[in-house]
Amino acid sequence: MDTKTLYQEMILDHNKKPRNFGEVADANRHADGHNPLCGDRIHLTLKLDDGRIDAVAFTGESCAICKASASMMTAAVKGRPAAEAEMLIQEFRDMTTGKMDIAAPGHHLGRLTVFAGVRDLPTRVKCAVLPWHTLHAALANETTTSTEADADPMKA
């Protein structure tokens, strides 16, 4: 794995100018995600209205991979039904853990395939997945989650 492929322009851009960075004022769901192994933290707020993610935003302190992943995730799920977000969460996990071939048709990841390279960097997979894990927790009405918890997506 060449970092030149992982640290692509899109990831660097989202790291530098994260989209949806902040808090949703009238949020009705929130969750804190933590990766105790590296210290990454993501605070996610969203407004769920009739099963649809009307607004979503994040704050946090993390590496570029985690921050860019959070930024692109919020852009991808905003305005979508929660069920579709859950589908993306599953597909994103499958991609980063090497369970899914992104070249094969049938997935809905689009630009998010820019993160496919982390599957070759086992120590960085959790950086990319943490925001998605946190979104899953928020949608399930759990307020805290961790990449080391029982619900660790890597163990799934």
| CA atoms of 95 and 101, how far apart (whole Å) | 7
110 binds another protein (CB under 8 A): no
63 binds another protein (CB under 8 A): yes
127 binds another protein (CB under 8 A): yes
Task: Report the 3 state secondary structure along 63-118.
Answer: CHHHHHHHHHHHHHHCCCEHHHHHHHHHHHHHHHCCCCCCCCCCCCCHHHHHHHHH
Q: How far is the CB of 127 from another protein (least distance, A)?
A: 7
| CA atoms of 16 and 34, how far apart (whole Å) | 21
Count the site residues for another protein by CB under 8 A.
20
Segment 12 to 31, residues that bind another protein, using CB under 8 A: 12, 15-16
83 binds another protein (CB under 8 A): no
Q: Residue 3 has which token pair?
A: 């970092």
Q: Which is nearer to another protein, 11 or 55 (CB)?
A: 11
Check: CB of residue 30 under 8 Å from CB of residue 143. Answer: yes
Stretch that binds another protein, among 17-25, 58-66, 80-88, 129-137 (CB under 8 A): 58-66
Q: Give bridge partners of residue 145 from the DSSP assignment.
A: 33
37 binds another protein (CB under 8 A): yes
* Chain positions contacting another protein, by CB under 8 A: 2-4, 6-7, 12, 15-16, 37-40, 61-65, 121, 124, 127
